A and B are shown apart, each in its own frame.
Chain A
Amino acid sequence: GNSVTQMEGPVTLSEEAFLTINCTYTATGYPSLFWYVQYPGEGLQLLLKATKADDKGSNKGFEATYRKETTSFHLEKGSVQVSDSAVYFCALTRTPTQNFVFGPGTRLSVLP
């Protein structure tokens, strides 16, 4: 079946540090890949997505590249801010009518 693995953290960084959160997946065919962010007490917000191999999703300084050869979709940001503190979920889906499969989430804390 489809599955997503990501580093579980927690990850604690100082402001302006470089961030990488690893995500790898197992799926048949060509899934679409997503990163969602969840701030404390809130629902999920789409951060970025990629729908085919070598696509790069980017938003708010975050980037992730769909690497089919390594089945990975690692999230990166060059300089994190305190406001980036949240839980980040990597996820995949196959079609619009199929549910998302989420990774376990990675809690990020950015210290001033």
Chain B
Amino acid sequence: GAVVSQHPSWVICKSGTSVKIECRSLDFQATTMFWYRQFPKQSLMLMATSNEGSKATYEQGVEKDKFLINHASLTLSTLTVTSAHPEDSSFYICSGGRPGGGNEQFFGPGTRLTVL
């Protein structure tokens, strides 16, 4: 099956620091990956679309200078939360689609970020 991993699975950081979250497609190449944010007891909200080799596309209301996305290869996308604040505490989930896999997206297990 298609597997997407995320690292770290959880992270606690101090306010003002930056945190990098990695999303890897382990057994397939994903030209497009998506980053979602999920606040407690809420649904997933799309933050941005990450395209390999080009700039990410951000959803309205998401600060591109705060949430830096890099999709350097067909198997790796990274999300960096810069100058994190407590309101950035959330569950961050990535997904990728497998070419020829139809419309199915494969989701990573998520990264829980807590900013103190």
Contact indicator B43/A97 (Cβ below 8 Å): no
Contacts of A111 in B (CB 8 A): none
Contact indicator A99/B46 (Cβ below 8 Å): yes
* Of A42, A45, A89, the contact of B44 (CB 8 Å cutoff): A89
In angstroms, Cα B34 to Cα A59, docked, is 25
Contacts of B109 in A (CB 8 A): 42-43
Contact indicator B103/A99 (Cβ below 8 Å): no
What 1/0 mask marks residues of chain A from 58 to 96 whose CB sits below 8 Å from any chain B CB?
Answer: 000000000000000000000000000000010001111
Contacts of A94 in B (CB 8 A): 103
In angstroms, Cα B4 to Cα A13, docked, is 33
* Of B32, B49, B93, B103, the contact of A43 (CB 8 Å cutoff): B93
Contacts of A104 in B (CB 8 A): 42-43
Min CB distance, A96 to chain B, in Å?
4
Interface residues in B, total, Cβ within 8 A: 24
Contacts of A97 in B (CB 8 A): 31-32, 97
* Of B34, B45, B95, B103, the contact of A32 (CB 8 Å cutoff): B103
Contacts of A46 in B (CB 8 A): 104, 107
Count of A-B contacts with CB under 8 A?
58
Contact indicator A89/B49 (Cβ below 8 Å): no
In angstroms, Cα B115 to Cα A37, docked, is 27
B-binding residues in A (CB < 8 A):
32, 34, 36, 42-46, 49, 51, 89, 93-97, 99-105, 107
Beyond A94-B103, A96-B103, A101-B46: 20 further Cβ-contacts under 8 Å?
A32-B102, A32-B103, A36-B107, A42-B109, A42-B110, A43-B6, A44-B110, A45-B107, A46-B107, A89-B43, A96-B32, A96-B97, A99-B46, A99-B49, A100-B44, A100-B105, A102-B43, A102-B44, A102-B45, A104-B43
A-binding residues in B (CB < 8 A):
6, 31-32, 34, 41-46, 49, 93, 95, 97, 99, 101-105, 107-110
